Amino acid sequence: MEGAAPTEELVLRAGSFFERLGLPVAKATPSEVRRAYHGRAIRCHPDKSAHAQAKEAFQALSEAFEELYDAESQRRYLEAELEREFAALAPQRKGGGDGGQKRAAAGGGGDRGEGGKAKHARKEARKKEKQWYEAHWEDVERELQRREASERRLRAAFVSTQSSRFAEREQEKQVRKLSSICRNLDNAADVSFNRLWGQSRAAAQARESGGNGDANALAAQAARARMEGNVDRCAALLEQAEQLRQRELVDEGLAFVALPFAEQHVELTSYLLERHAWEDPDAEEESGDTGELDY
């Protein structure tokens, strides 16, 4: 409730940009700033108001709108407002003195406390912003509609991104669950390593230890060494062959982990169905199809 005072007077005697828009001095979304601006602009625009100061009030209102609509400029303005409040309280806390006044002068609102280049840039930006302050009300409405459409696109993009992230997190949980099931079933079936459930400690150590050559070729050399009666060389060659085989498995495991979670999920599910005839109990619960008609 604004009381009996005309909107034009409320805007012109306001102490802050937030007050000009009728908003509390606190962080506001672009949509909140736009709606507050529209609510007052439609009452004090020269095309809508016969008040003697309608033009000045609308320009002051538009200045506040442009400053607070942009998130970064609103953040700077809020910091300046808090600095001024702190500076006003500082003399009372210290028992007087001019320390607070000096601080207020250094950290005031708007362009205060900014460097020369930043100050000039902001002034130039405001000159461009003020070009539509003189526009007819129809042009103002179109500009606000354009900004509202832009806000909707940004919200839709944000929601889509959040939904994608949530879906990816859920897929990751499912992949971890399936990997654990796969490992347990493989271990029960005496499968020592499977690229679908990651690197075993022995395989990881073998990968780090290095080694060259082909595992099959080393195995053939080990067979010849055994036929020649060289037991020690045969054992050493077989160990090297096993290390190379483990390295290949680890490389396959790393390639699997690099796949998108959706693809990992498909491979794990296919493997579990084919190798272990496993069926997902959650899938049966989700389907809930009993084949009966629901009257």
- Region 137-142: what's the mean pLDDT? 88
What DSSP string describes 207-228? Answer: HHH---S-HHHHHHHHHHHHHT
Nearest-angstrom CA–CA distance, 225 and 234 = 5
Q: Express each pLDDT in 45-73 by its tens digit.
A: 999 989 999 999 999 999 999 999 988 99
Nearest-angstrom CA–CA distance, 273 and 280 = 9
Length of the chain: 295
Of 79-93, 176-190, 213-227, 257-271, which one has max mean pLDDT? Answer: 176-190
Instruction: State which fold the 7-135 domain adopts.
Output: Helix Hairpins (1.10.287)
Nearest-angstrom CA–CA distance, 10 and 150 = 30
pLDDT band at 119 (very low <50, low <70, confident <90, very high): low
120 is written with which tokens? 């000039």
Domain extents for the chain?
A: 7-135, 162-280
Q: Express each pLDDT in 216-265 by its tens digit.
A: 676 777 777 777 778 788 788 777 777 766 666 556 666 676 778 788 88
The residue to which tokens 């809930």 are assigned: 288
